[in-house]
């Protein structure tokens, strides 16, 4: 651990724009934080060592997401969609856009993203280029946004959330890079992600749920079952705070009471999302505020004994 680095952090941010902070190999987490000078940017934490380092050149960044090979982090900043090599070097502009609600990077080098609150999904080459519309809002269903895209393992199909002014029309859909057609998968006010060996994860009434998913037929099977209770969920944004990586799912949970059925299927990681930050115990120096239910910290706190931070 490098306590001097932790002392540089004043505040930690997380929003619905940040779906994929954990690297594909599960060894690093990318997060947005503000330093003591008031400058925000992306930091990387090595999960095995708890060391953190800032990614230089990511000032004012939001919504970090990883390339499939883990060599780059994409993000929104200064009116651009950008990428930066984890190994170092300056950021590279991909296309012009305002900060959006989610992005996903395919193995074929296509990035799909939401460019703003009320917009369909866009696509662009990760090597830079002009963005192009990927989906179209359905006015008959009073859709106002397509958001939180997440590629499926084939790299062509993806999950996304269509938000509507009508609750019954806010739903999770499957889209494709090769077709304008979409398929409704679940009527839920949540984002969704795929979890090996064959599940779709989503949030229902602040409970992380899983349902079997046939990748070849792009169909759900059986009934959804609970994975973890007490998941933080933003209903207006239709976003649940959870992750899927490799063989595990992580979630922001209040009491860590996991479903035994889910655990038996390999869907549970040992810790919630924010426990991937440095652990804390009986903090003496709160520099944070609690959410309305008084259990989730929205910024960081410091443990005086070790000068480490966490949530």
**Mean pLDDT for all residues in the chain:** 77
Question: DSSP per residue over 150-174, as a string?
Answer: EE-TTSSEEEEEEEESSGGG-EEEE
Q: Give yes or no for residue 156 having a pLDDT over 90.
A: yes
- Predicted pLDDT at 36: 79
pLDDT, one tens digit per residue, over 24-63 is: 887 888 888 887 778 889 989 887 777 888 899 999 999 9
Backbone angles phi, psi at 147, to 5 degrees: -145, 170
**pLDDT for residue 261:** 54
Q: What angle do CA 133, 134, 139 make, to 5 degrees?
A: 85
Please tell me the distance from the alpha carbon of residue 145 to that of residue 115, in angstroms, as a whole number: 10
pLDDT digits (tens, 9 = 90+) for 161-204: 999 999 999 999 999 999 989 999 999 999 999 988 899 999 99
Q: Over pLDDT 70: what percentage of the chain?
A: 71
Please report which confidence band the pLDDT of residue 253 belongs to, taking 50, 70 and 90 as the band edges. very low
Buried b / exposed e along 48-80 (16+ C-beta atoms within 10 A): eebebebbebbeebbbbbbbbeeebbbbbbeeb
**Separation of first and last alpha carbons in the chain:** 16
Which residue matches tokens 């925000």?
40
CB neighbourhood size of 10 (10 A): 18
- Look at residue 40 in the predicted model and tell me its pLDDT: 87
Residue position matching structure tokens 């954990």? 22
H-helix or E-strand spanning residue 224 = strand 219-229
Residue 152: pLDDT above 70?
A: yes
Scanning the structure block, which residue is given the tokens 């939001």?
A: 62
What DSSP line would sit under 108-134, residue for residue? TSEEEE--SSS---EEEETT----EE-
Does the pLDDT value for residue 281 go beyond 70?
no
Q: Which residue has the tokens 């038996």?
A: 264
Which of 1-5, 51-55, 80-84 shows the lowest per-residue confidence on average (mean pLDDT)?
1-5
pLDDT surpassing 70 at residue 124 = yes
Which residue, among 171, 134, 147, 153, has the nearest Cα to 213 in the 3D structure? Answer: 153
- pTM of the entire predicted model: 0.78
Tell how strand 110-113 and strand 122-125 pair up. Answer: antiparallel
Least reliable range by pLDDT among 115-129, 170-184, 266-280, 293-307: 293-307
pLDDT tier, 241 (very low <50, low <70, confident <90, very high otherwise) = confident
User: Which uninterrupted H or E stretch holds 264?
Assistant: helix 260-264
pLDDT above 80: residue 213: yes
Residue scoring higher pLDDT (17 or 190):
190
Those residues with Cβ within 8 angstroms of residue 295's Cβ, 6 or more apart along the chain or in another chain? 230, 254
Pairing of strands 157-164, 171-176: antiparallel
Residues 86, 74: contact at Cβ < 8 Å? Answer: no
Tell me what pLDDT residue 11 has.
57
Q: Is residue 232 scored above 90 in pLDDT?
A: no
Query: What pLDDT, on the 0 to 100 scale, is given for residue 199?
Result: 92
Higher pLDDT: 145 or 240? It is: 145
Ranges 29-43, 92-106, 122-136, 201-215: which has the least confidence: 29-43
Q: Supply the pLDDT for residue 31.
A: 86
Confidence of residue 291 (pLDDT cuts 50, 70, 90): very low
Half-sphere exposure of 263 (CA within 13 A, CB side): 8
Q: How far apart are CA 146 and CA 116, in angstroms?
A: 9
**Dihedral angle sign, alpha carbons of residues 57, 237, 217, 24:** positive
pLDDT of residue 21: 76
Q: How far apart, in whole angstroms, are the C-alpha atoms of residue 152 and residue 150?
A: 7
């Amino acid at each position: 651990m490098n306590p001097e680095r932790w002392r540089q952090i004043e505040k930690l941010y997380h929003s619905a724009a940040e779906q994929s902070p954990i690297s594909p190999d599960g060894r690093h987490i990318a997060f947005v934080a503000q330093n003591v000078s008031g400058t925000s940017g992306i930091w990387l934490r090595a999960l095995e060592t708890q060391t953190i380092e800032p990614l230089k050149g990511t000032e004012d960044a939001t919504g970090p997401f990883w390339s499939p090979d883990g060599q780059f982090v994409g993000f929104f900043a200064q009116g651009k969609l950008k990428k930066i090599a984890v190994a170092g070097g300056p950021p590279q502009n991909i296309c012009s856009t305002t900060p959006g609600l989610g992005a996903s990077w395919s193995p074929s080098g296509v990035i799909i993203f939401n460019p703003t609150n009320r917009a369909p999904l866009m696509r662009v080459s990760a090597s830079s280029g002009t963005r192009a519309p990927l989906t179209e809002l359905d006015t008959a269903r009073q859709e106002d946004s397509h958001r939180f895209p997440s590629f499926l393992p084939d790299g062509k199909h993806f999950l996304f959330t269509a938000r509507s002014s009508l609750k019954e029309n806010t739903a999770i859909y499957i889209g494709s890079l090769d077709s304008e057609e979409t398929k409704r998968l679940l009527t839920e006010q949540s984002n969704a992600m795929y979890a090996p060996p064959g599940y779709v994860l989503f949030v229902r009434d602040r409970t992380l749920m899983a349902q079997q998913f046939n990748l070849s037929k792009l169909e759900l099977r059986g009934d959804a079952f609970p994975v973890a209770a007490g998941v933080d969920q933003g209903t207006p944004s239709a976003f649940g705070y959870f992750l899927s990586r490799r063989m595990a799912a992580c979630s922001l949970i209040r009491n860590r009471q996991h479903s035994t059925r889910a655990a038996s299927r390999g869907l549970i990681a040992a810790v919630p999302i924010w426990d991937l930050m440095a652990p804390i115990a009986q903090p003496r120096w709160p520099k944070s505020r609690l959410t309305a239910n008084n259990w989730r910290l929205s910024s960081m706190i410091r443990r005086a004994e070790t000068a480490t931070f966490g949530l």
